[in-house]
Amino acid sequence: MSKKFQASVHHRDDVGFVKLSGVIDEDNELADLTDSIPGSMVVIDLGEVERINSCGVRDWVNWLSALEAKGAGIVLVECSPAIVAQINLVNNFTGNGSVKSFYVPYFCPECDEEKVLLCEAGEMGPPPHEPPVCRCNGCDLVMDFDDMPDSYFAFLSNQKKVAKPEAVQSILDEFGSGTGEPSRIRSRVGANATGNISSSALPSVPSLPSISGSGTGVGSRPGTLAGVEQTNPGMHDVAAVAKSQGKNDSLVFVLVVLVAAIGVLGFLVFSG
């Protein structure tokens, strides 16, 4: 199996558990997993998926269709920000399945730290959805939500209820990386199956770019616009523009005076 794509499959009774990690691209090998996943329900852990490209999205949708054709219900858990972005962009990304839990990204401008908070979809309440309050481990200040609420939480408006929640939670307790807590925070650099920090990075993938101003508020970072550094003109630039404008005005004045003088001289010559 590709080093950048990893998958593990477990099952208990009629519920299967699949944990995916790394990159889902054209080398994903998802189709090879289909026959090894038994059960009438499949729980897919996506917490360590770093990114997914267009080829990966195509294969992912086809793979879910193949699982559903076998009669399996789909439940997605611990969806990373990269997965949430695709859920919001691709209509059939979840197939006929549902999202049980997902990670919400945060940023601390004081410590320059990023975190993701695991949230239960069923506990987000009705729209408009707002990110839960998350405090920085370093300075204990409230962290900024690192996206736009309307776009990041858009998928919750069409969210389906999780079927057989007791069976899903049971297999998560046995094979998942959960601690049994409904919400937990971890470094955005990712965590392995035991919850320890690893080198695999969770992506910073907003579903829509955010515009930042003074560096405060939702999704804001000083001097950035959609991840691109912005610069403001300095005072010397303003002065240079003013100076250039002054020169242009002076030139126009001289030309007007010159034309007027030629007109007066011509009049005197012909009138004499």
pLDDT tens by residue, 221-271: 433 333 333 333 343 343 444 444 555 566 667 777 777 778 777 777 676
Q: The tokens of 15 are what? A: 């519920």
10 pLDDT higher than 90? yes
pLDDT at 5: 94
| C-alpha–C-alpha distance, residues 136 and 187, integer Å | 10
Q: Which CATH superfamily is domain 5-104+117-127+153-200 in?
A: STAS domain (3.30.750.24)
Helix (H, G, I), strand (E, B) or coil at 237: helix
Q: Which amino acid is at 52?
A: I
Segment (H or E) for 67 = helix 54-69
Which comes out higher in pLDDT, residue 177 or 31? 31
Beta carbons of 16 and 50 less than 8 angstroms apart: no
| C-alpha–C-alpha distance, residues 40 and 111, integer Å | 46
Beta carbons of 79 and 47 less than 8 angstroms apart: yes
| C-alpha–C-alpha distance, residues 78 and 101, integer Å | 5
Q: For residue 2, what pLDDT band results from cuts at 50, 70 and 90?
A: low
Beta carbons of 105 and 114 less than 8 angstroms apart: yes
| Tens digits of residue pLDDT in 69-90 | 999 999 999 999 999 999 999 9
Q: How many CB atoms lie within 10 A of CB 117?
A: 19
Long-range contacts at 230-234 (CB < 8 A, ≥ 24 apart): none
Sign of the Cα torsion 62, 65, 67, 73 reads positive
| C-alpha–C-alpha distance, residues 192 and 105, integer Å | 18
Chain centre to alpha carbon of residue 239:
41
Q: The tokens of 150 are what? A: 């309307």
Tell which residue, 221, 156, 177, 213, has the closest CA to residue 20.
Answer: 177
pLDDT at 48: 95
What does the mean pLDDT of the chain come to?
77
Q: The tokens of 216 are what? A: 């405060």
